[in-house]
Structure 1
């Protein structure tokens, strides 16, 4: 098991490599790396890694399970005085929404009205002014021949309209995950089209959360503003999944 000093050095090197990839990817796409928010996905890794990343200046951290994120957010606050923003990036069950609404700065995975309702209730119970959320677009299936963006996009726009009408949820943008099989450029091209449609109807919804360790360059080519990086930054764990 590595010492804290060795782990810090490892994370520093990995962070430099990831930031270099982001800069190169943005340059190739005619964009500035300053436009991009790097989210370190700390799922399955200890809170000490989150603290080291905060020490290195990474203050956007992602988790996909409430039982882990709720504990880590409290532990990290006790370990360091650095202010971090927690991103909930996994599929969220409605019965966990009240807990997530207490600590999350941005929920990426709002994919149904029932979840929006539950988050809304959680924000009110937590006494928070508002919570930023992203609507999640499924890229697993080919778009249906209805509406401008297909069936999934039509459903997403109805959900976006519902969130935009909330007094405690703020519609901040869109999120998607490229399918494991297939061309990520094709998937993210469709995401870019739907993201543009979303902005036309809701101009403040400018976040595009897309791209992970294996496909971040493709996501940057198609307008990603937030990339969610786990393996390339923290390494692999036996129980880690994509």
Structure 2
């Protein structure tokens, strides 16, 4: 077993254990492998180990990988855009990705809807919540969620699937859980209004246990699968 396959098995075991501790079925939690800055060869190893959902932060890098794997015959992969999205890059996301986790304003949502090719299913989108109220992070406050959600569900080229957040780092489990519960409550309320809502993208390597206990349905794991990243290759993406 190679390193990536071994790492994936370990992460899956951790998801299984975290779900079991809070009485959930691990099948309710999707593992999104964050492959940003990693070469196609690393993704190929993850695919060989059964991974199908991948997250990319840089638009052009992600598009290049999507094209590469489509040409290689991998048509069953799911590609998630999980980075900040600028208006001038929205067309590439709309045309190539399956999901966008970082919708935080109507302008971006409208562009994604208008630019989604007619021969593709609607782009799955998540509204990004700035749950820790950090100025350095994208996302909207929870107080703005209802209004934005009501506007997004009217757009034909995209489909609202739920919420995403990147909480501020916390070392204590209780604090991690408290923040994750805020997201889970908002997610539950959104589900009661919109039948397409089924995804709470929350939790990374350091807070995955608390996120799953709170109700996350998708965890985003990168370094624990692929190892440390080299960011010098991605300037300007």
TM-score, normalised with respect to structure 2: 0.89
Residue of structure 1 in register with 2:147 after alignment? 158
Q: Distance in 2 between matches of 1:129 and 1:78?
A: 20
Residue of structure 2 in register with 1:9 after alignment? 2
* 1:34 positional shift: 1.1
Residue of structure 2 in register with 1:176 after alignment? 165
Q: Distance in 2 between matches of 1:81 and 1:187?
A: 37
**Please, which runs of 5 or more residues in structure 1 have no aligned partner?**
1-7, 143-150
Moved more, 183-192 or 78-87: 78-87
Matched, 1:60 2:49: no
Distance change in 2, residues 1:238/1:69 (3 Å):
closer
* 1:79 positional shift: 3.2
Q: Distance in 1 between matches of 2:41 and 2:97?
A: 19
Q: Distance in 2 between matches of 1:84 and 1:13?
A: 20
Q: Distance in 2 between matches of 1:62 and 1:233?
A: 12
Match of 2:225 among 233, 238, 242: 233
Matched, 1:110 2:99: no
Residue of structure 1 in register with 2:186 after alignment? 194
Q: Distance in 1 between matches of 2:32 and 2:13?
A: 15
Contact 1:134 1:173 in 2 (8 A): yes
Match of 2:200 among 190, 196, 208: 208
Match of 1:71 among 22, 41, 64: 64
**Please, which runs of 5 or more residues in structure 2 have no aligned partner?**
135-139, 233-237
Distance change in 2, residues 1:141/1:127 (3 Å):
same
Moved more, 54-63 or 154-163: 154-163
Residue of structure 1 in register with 2:83 after alignment? 90
* 1:83 positional shift: 1.7
Residue of structure 1 in register with 2:137 after alignment? none
Contact 2:165 2:202 in 1 (8 A): yes
Matched position secondary structure for 2:196: coil
* 1:80 positional shift: 4.5
Contact 1:111 1:156 in 2 (8 A): no
Matched position secondary structure for 1:173: strand
Matched, 1:99 2:92: yes
* 1:188 positional shift: 0.5
Q: Distance in 1 between matches of 2:66 and 2:16?
A: 29
Matched position secondary structure for 1:165: coil
